[in-house]
Structure 1
Amino acid sequence: MFNCIRGRKSSREKILDAAAELVGSIGAGRLTLEAVAERAGLSKGGLLYNFPSKDALLQGMIQRLVDEVSAEKETLRGHTPPGRNLEARLCTAALLKMHAGKMKDIANGMLAASSENPALLEPVRQVIRKTLTEMRETSDDLDACLLAWLAVEGLNSFEMHDLSPFSEEDRDRIAASVTKLLENGIAE
């Protein structure tokens, strides 16, 4: 997940961390390469070596979010019992786990930035296509998988935009219902 040598973060990771902090506090629209370089403790030239433009930096941040969700999915794989709709269970569990805190702020900032440049979301589009293909190829009950995935994505979207009418108790109930749907399928 992170490219660290002997516990130290790479320049690239320092830059992405600094950019994430700034996007969370000031938003992607007001983000400048100078501010990121300063926050990361690097020269602007050092930042430009890793990310030659603001769009490249924003795309790097989006890719890191995608990679973090993927890494979480693989971590969960080692703790999830085999059974029906395994890939969908892993996907929805990873998405539910990654909703909170700084991820939400960064995702909001990235969404705002992508409104100016929709191409920034290409890594997300690729993951969505890959997820759908995996579900079609591995699901025991495709309808249950698609409903569960859409429910989790909808819940995360509500939360990302501070629109969710659900309490934490409601969220837990929804998550449990998604798991039950994936484990048992849709009764006909």
Structure 2
Amino acid sequence: MRRSKYDLILDAAVSLIATDGLDALSYESLAHAAGLSKSGIIYHFPSRHDLLLGIHKHLAEAWETELRSIAGAPAEELTDAQRLRAVLISMGRTAELTELIMILDARNDPGYRAVWAGVDKRWMPGPDTSDAYLVQLIAYGLWAHDHLHHEPLSPADRERLLAAALAQIPS
């Protein structure tokens, strides 16, 4: 199946952010990376805000697809424990740098935050469910660990910690 130019642009933007950071993302750099004209980029994303919103949606949709794949069903068909298990397994891997950058960027704009909040609302427990939320915080730690700590977790340590966290999911 042929990829759309829209998806090609978003994939190129994700790659650019991963290698050069969010500040390096411009219409010119993106056009070069995507192999399109600057006007071709502008056609799909008339403003930088539209482009960034598109990237947030693209990444959030990819994450939700991953969560559905892990869980074997959409969020609304699962129990709280099944949703939390999928989130923990997904976040048990090391965050891609672009994901981490974009999550941090979302704090600056209500529209960007709303994209991620939709996924959070469907899949994650709220802080009022203390035992489940504690497991959620462990998931965040596993996900961001290698970007925040001077030494990454070994695969064996990551697997051990993930198993221990999975055992903490309230039934």
Aligned partners of 2:133, 2:105: CA distance in 1, in Å? 28
1:164 Cα deviation after fit? 5.9
State the alpha-carbon separation in 2 of the partners of residues 121 and 96 from structure 1: 22
Structure 1 residues 74 and 129, CA gap change in structure 2 (3 angstroms): closer
Give the distance between the partners of 2:105 and 2:130, measured in 1 at CA.
33
Preserved CA contact (<8 Å) 1:29 1:112 = no
Aligned equivalent of 1:92: 88
Cα distance in 2, alignment partners of residues 164 and 149 from structure 1:
22
In the alignment, the residues of structure 2 paired with residue 162 and residue 124 of structure 1 have an alpha-carbon distance, to the nearest angstrom, of 25
TM-superposed CA distance for 1:111, in Å, is 4.8
- Who is 1:9 aligned against? 3
In the aligned structure 1, how far is the partner of 2:79 from the partner of 2:9?
Answer: 41
- Matched length: 164
Counterpart contact for 1:59–1:121, Cα < 8 Å: no
Partners of 1:77 and 1:122 lie apart in 2 by 23
Give the partner amino acid of 2:166: T
Q: Residue 57 of structure 1 corresponds to which residue in structure 2?
A: 51
SS in 1 for 2:18: helix
CA distance in 2, matches of 1:143, 1:113: 27
1:171-186 equivalences in 2 (<5 Å)? 171-182=158-169, 185=170
What is the alpha-carbon distance in structure 1 between the residues aligned to residue 6 and residue 118 of structure 2?
A: 23
What is the rounded CA distance, in whole Å, between the counterparts of 1:105 and 1:84 in structure 2?
28
Cα distance change, pair 147–108 in 1 and its aligned pair in 2 (3 A): closer
SS for the counterpart of 2:46 is: coil
Letter in 1 for 2:117: R
**Higher mean C-alpha displacement, 55-64 vs 24-33:** 55-64
1:27 aligns with 2:21: yes
Aligned-residue sequence identity (percent) comes to 26
* Cα distance, 1:175–1:107 mapped onto 2, change above 3 Å: same
How far residue 70 of structure 1 moved from its aligned partner, in angstroms, is: 0.7
TM-score under structure 1 length normalisation: 0.73
Alignment equivalent of 1:77, drawn from 71, 79, 82 = 71
TM-score (norm 2): 0.79
Q: Distance in 2 between matches of 1:14 and 1:166?
A: 33
Residue of structure 2 in register with 1:123 after alignment: 115
CA RMSD of aligned residues (A): 2.7
Specify every segment of 5 or more residues in structure 2 that has no aligned partner in the other structure, as ranges: none
Is the Cα–Cα contact under 8 Å of residues 92 and 158 in structure 2 kept in the other structure? no
Letter in 1 for 2:33: R
Q: 1:165 to 1:17 in 2, by over 3 A?
A: closer
